[in-house]
Chain A
Amino acid sequence: MTPKCLQAIRRAAWLGVVLTFPHFPCLAEAFPQSQQTSKTEFLVSHESVGKPGGRLVLSLRAEPKTLNPIIAVDAPSREVIGVMQADLIHINRSSQLTEPGLAKSCKVSKDGLEYSIELRRGLQFSDGKPMDADDVLFTFRVYLDEAIHAPQRDLLIVGGKPIEVRKVDAYHVVFRMAKPYGVGDRLFDGLAILPRHLLEKPYQEGKLGQFGGLSVSPAEWAGLGPFRLKEYVAGQRIVLERNPYYWKTDSSGSRLPYLDEIVFLFVPSADAQVLRFQSGETDIVTRLGAENFSVLSRQAHGYSMTDAGPGLEYNFLFFNLNDTKTSAEAARRQDWFRDVRFRQAISAAVDRQAIVRLVYQGRGAALWGPVTPGNKRWANTEIKHPARSLERARDLLRQAGFFWKDGSGGDQMLVDQHSSPVEFSILTSASNADRTKMATLIADDLKQLGIRAQVVPLEFRSLLDRVNQTKDYDACVLGLASFDVDPNSDINVWLSSGGTHLWNPSQAHPATAWEAEIDKLMEQQLVAKSFEERKKSYDRVQQILDENQPFIFLATPDILVGAKDNVGNFQPSVLEPYALWNVENLFWRNASETGGK
């Protein structure tokens, strides 16, 4: 269901993550004992033991643009790269906590400035070449190189300065930050360690950005993930094969992954993906909308559908709070929008339960804040969840100086102090049927207040252009999805200087007192010493958002996936990648089964 829109926004949110974290317990103790087999220090997985062999077929909405993690920003590329690469420390998508990856242990200095990471011994890239501290050093040099413009670079600037990386010996690397932060280990998630032996030459020649396209030959490309490139057929599929040098084993000691091959088919529309899955051509389907989920559930045979519960995506309505006076009309409308009572009234009038029921067919949750029920740690439980109340909405509007007049059709019409009728447009992305439906429901809710709201579906790029550039719009329904549960992944949304501060982006100075307070609190939680302190700051942020309603939060959809019954260890999570996060543990229960029939 993820349209381009979400990707773009996600990316924006993701890039904006500022990386200073408070103190967190170091992981070293939490790391399970590595098993010593010959030279390699394996990580032992504790999921059920499966059977080796077989092929898993999935569909991607678009062709990945690249296999190179340094330039990949689109979702299909990231999905494929995700199973081909590995990181030092990894966020477990199920527990939402960090876990060891390529690093065996991680120690934080007393002042919280230094992270000493010890690598597993005997690691090999998927082409059999050994991996050591030099590869880590090379990787971070590339990520931090300004000329490369890696999307990861922003993540590695802490307190305005790039992280310093120092090699102690072949297995020890020290990361030093300019400002203290404790749980910086979350930051290592998703930072793929690159093969120096393959990439150093293109890097020296300044050609790294063009390297690792889909046409790269499998011999020239390697990673540390469970699968490696086998074949790419333009316009049709990309085939990955088992990485025989992978560094995880199951509890019986056999090397993971179980599957021999993963095939990603390029299937451009969500409906076509559903049809492919239904006909058995693909084995797993993710990013399903509720309607397609129920179509598949109704006719399920040989596969089962899973509702993993609410994800991290939050959808919301927001008003144009920029100070742009494109026209007298627009300025008058913005006067209404700037009145907090007006926004509160709209919020009170919106029927969130109807949105969950009619848009998500009940497979979602109503929202009153940015932290969804899928986020296990950060929700402010003090935030009230008031039921829809037109009474309260009318009271608030009356207090704000609005009143009602008899309209032409005998209906009550809401007018402002100057007796002009309250009318505005709500933008939605034309390609996103869910949000258009939300906006249509909201428009009907507001009609009962005598407000005429008109839904205008626009092509997503022209919508973003209006919201971010020309600022020529009244209201808009959008959604954001964080990559991580941590509030930092949304910092660009809440900081008034942030590019994703949608209602009034990239401000030089906070326009309002409450935005200034949010700025302060977000900075505070960055350097806070404990989770409790951070939580306290973020709770207050949620409270301010609730009081001021810059976003009128609507609902979050459940993460809906389906898989063939025979896929073992299939445990979809609410964090991306929803189904493939434990790809190395997936297996076919019936060994003779080869997927994608």
Chain B
Amino acid sequence: MKIAPRRQRLIVTLLVLLHGIVLVGGFVAPYDPIRQDRDRPYAPPARIHFADGPGKFHLRPFVYSQRLREDSFDQYDDDHAKLIPLKFFVSGASYRLLGVIPAKIHLFGADEETVNLLGTDGYGRDLFSRIVYGGQISLLAGLLAAGVSLLVGTIVGSASGYLGGWTDSIAMRLAELCLALPWLYLLFGVRAFLPLLVSPVKAFLIVVITIGVLGWARPARLVRGVALSAKERDFVRAARGFGASNSYILRRHILPQTKSVILTQAAILIPQYILAEVTLSFLGLGIPEPAPSWGNLLSSLQQYSVLSSYWWMYLPAMAMVPFFFGYLALSSTLQEGRSAAKIDL
């Protein structure tokens, strides 16, 4: 199989890098994402300077201290007399690296004052930290949900394609039903039946499982198609002739055939499911506040006042772009690889 190796490698590297940043979010983000600083609501992003007022150059980048204008709710002035140098590897809020290793060192920060690289939200929470931590939740939700739906889809699809008959009919009708379901309303319904007090972890799992389970139909249909054609191939017939069991044939001959379809599907589904989580949280059905997720972060944009007054509240949407771009580019190179492979045969 020939695939555009260099481009693909580049894209994969980019994606791994992006995911890596989010994975070590506690280290990259300077502050606790749910810590409120009630004296700094809607602080604009701090501008990073190298040269101060008189034009003196500083090797170490710095920001000016922001002061809330008197009698104002959200207007800040830079205090040009007060320079806050940015420092790297500073000690700050405690967190767990990769969810296990307790740590206190952050990539950057400042000693005396908080520096909000991308501004703050209405509660004075650091937006940069929230985007990074929010990425952990949103990406994990996308990955897990894609995993769930691919797993279910592959099992059902390959069994249905290979076995055919009644199994096939039932599985495919079920898949059609799932595709036709208005899933948004279904989720509204599911949320209404849950108890009020759900821990964030549980809520997260519920979101992941609902998205994943509802999404199995499309990959199942694709996998079924591959299985359907694969079972007529000579090596499968030969294996059957030698008396191989169904499960053996499925495992050894059919499933390997579906690999490229599944990979392409994964590259398509992951961003789709990230977006699904974002949509749900945007509508208040996803991860509950105050835990950050990209959807939660964007939900304040539902208000015209936020939309028109605080441009930095759009930034979580910008953060999603490279991820989606990476995944979609990956899926298209995978697809190219598949068609190239087909021509090769």
Quick check: B308 and A462 within 8 Å, CB to CB? no
**Segment touching A, from B3-11, B172-180, B235-243, B284-292:** B284-292
B36 at interface by CB-CB < 8 Å: yes
A357: Cβ under 8 A from any B Cβ? yes
Question: Does B304 interact with chain A (Cβ within 8 Å)?
Answer: yes
Q: Are B197 and A358 in contact (CB under 8 A)?
A: no
Alpha-carbon distance between A292 and B73 when the two chains are bound, in angstroms: 13
- Contact status of A295 and B196, CB under 8 A, knowing A351-B38, A358-B41, A443-B290: no
A474 contacts chain B at the CB level, 8 A cutoff = yes
Contacts known (A291-B305, A292-B304, A292-B305); A358 close to B288, Cβ less than 8 A: no
Cβ–Cβ < 8 Å partners of B197 in chain A: 423-425, 454, 456, 474
Contact A274:B304 (CB < 8 A) given known A358-B123, A362-B73, A430-B284: yes
Known: A357-B73, A440-B123, A455-B289. A295 touches B38 (CB 8 A): no
- The 5 A-B residue pairs with the shortest CB-CB distance, nearest first, are A291-B305, A271-B304, A361-B73, A425-B196, A425-B197
Residues on A with beta carbons closer than 8 Å to the beta carbon of B94: 410
Given A425-B196, A454-B288, A474-B196, answer yes or no on A289-B123 (Cβ-Cβ < 8 Å).
Answer: no
- Residues of B near A291 (CB, < 8 A) are 303, 305-306, 309
| Sample (8) of A-B pairs whose CB atoms are under 8 Å apart | A295-B309, A298-B309, A351-B38, A358-B41, A362-B73, A455-B288, A456-B288, A462-B192
* B78 on the A face (CB < 8 A): no
- Determine if B196 and A437 form an interchain contact, defined as CB atoms under 8 angstroms apart: no
- Whether A444 lies near B290 (C-beta < 8 A) is yes
Question: What chain B residues lie within 8 Å of A226 (beta carbons)?
Answer: none
Q: A residues touching B (Cβ–Cβ < 8 Å)? A: 270-271, 274-275, 289-292, 294-295, 298, 351, 354, 357-358, 361-362, 410, 423-425, 427, 430, 433, 437, 440-441, 443-444, 454-457, 462, 472-474
Hey, which chain A residues are within 8 Å of B306, CB to CB? 291
Residues of A near B192 (CB, < 8 A) are 462
Residues of B within 8 A of A270 (CB): 304
Give the interface SS of chain A, mostly helix, strand, loop or mixed. helix
Report the number of A-B residue pairs with Cβ-Cβ less than 8 Å.
73
Question: Contact between A440 and B38 (Cβ–Cβ < 8 Å)?
Answer: no
B195 to A: closest C-beta gap in Å: 9
Interface set of B (CB-CB < 8 Å, partner A):
34, 36, 38, 41, 71, 73-74, 94, 122-124, 192, 196-198, 284, 288-290, 303-306, 308-309
**Contact A294–B73 (Cβ < 8 Å):** yes
Contacts of A351 in B (CB 8 A): 38
CA distance A430 to B288 in the complex (A): 12
Measured CB to CB, the closest approach of chain A to B39, in angstroms, equals 9
Residue of A nearest to B304 (CB): A271
- Nearest chain B CB to A2's CB is how many angstroms away? 16
- A357 contact from B38, B304, B308, Cβ within 8 A: B38
Q: How far is the CA of A423 from the CA of B202 in the complex (A)?
A: 15
The chain B residue with its CB closest to the CB of A358 is B41
Instruction: For the A-B complex with A291-B305, A443-B290 known, give 14 more contacts whose Cβ atoms are closer than 8 Å.
Output: A289-B305, A294-B74, A295-B304, A295-B305, A351-B38, A357-B38, A357-B41, A357-B73, A358-B122, A425-B196, A437-B123, A454-B198, A455-B289, A456-B197
Tell me the bound Cα distance from A96 to B195 in angstroms: 45
Contact of B290 among A295, A425, A440 (CB under 8 A): A440
**Which has the most chain B C-beta neighbours within 10 Å: A274, A440, A455, A456?**
A456
Which residues of chain B are near A454, meaning CB under 8 Å?
196-198, 288
What separation, in Å, do the CA atoms of A281 and B66 have in the docked complex? 38
The CA-CA distance from A363 to B71 in the complex, in Å, is 11
**A440 — nearest CB in chain B belongs to which residue?**
B289
Query: Could you say which residues of chain A place their CB within 8 Å of the CB of B71?
Result: 362
